[in-house]
């Protein structure tokens, strides 16, 4: 079986290009999570905002892993699970996790 020695480079270039095209959406998704964390800190996270943040975290967990950001994807998955859980007291964990997610991705944004 012949392998193209340039294939890895081409794939990496395509992924880098896709990442650049997804950056605006990724930044907006992070902003939604930032707003959700702020709402948690003030005790004002309502159900529609919680559902939106949960959906965003789910999308980020998949997308970030696809682009090679496994640690950030794992953090987003953890955020999703907290938002999905019915225990409101666990929502406070959202605040440091969103900050950690942003710090992890900052060099790539």
What number of other Cβ atoms are within 10 A of residue 95's Cβ? 14
Could you tell me if residue 57 is left (phi over 0), alpha (psi between -120 and 50 degrees) or otherwise beta?
alpha
pLDDT in tens, 54-94: 999 999 999 998 888 999 999 999 999 999 986 777 899 99
Could you tell me if residue 2 is left (phi over 0), alpha (psi between -120 and 50 degrees) or otherwise beta?
beta
DSSP 86: S
What CATH number is associated with residue 79?
A: 1.20.120
pLDDT in tens, 13-61: 888 888 899 899 999 999 999 999 999 999 999 999 999 999 999 999 9
In the chain, the DSSP E strands lie at: none
With respect to residue 42, please indicate whether it lies within any of the assigned structural domains.
yes
* Structural domain range at position 24: 7-108
With respect to residue 1, please indicate whether it lies within any of the assigned structural domains.
no
């Amino acid at each position: 079986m012949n392998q193209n020695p340039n294939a890895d480079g081409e794939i990496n270039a395509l992924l880098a290009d896709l990442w650049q095209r997804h950056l605006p959406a990724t930044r907006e998704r992070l902003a939604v999570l930032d707003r959700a964390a702020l709402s948690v800190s003030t005790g004002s996270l309502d159900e529609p905002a919680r559902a939106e943040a949960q959906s965003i975290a789910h999308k980020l967990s998949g997308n970030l892993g696809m682009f090679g950001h496994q640690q950030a994807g794992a953090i987003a998955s953890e955020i999703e699970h907290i938002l999905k859980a019915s225990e409101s007291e666990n929502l406070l964990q959202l605040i440091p996790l969103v900050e950690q997610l942003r710090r992890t991705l900052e060099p790539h944004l």
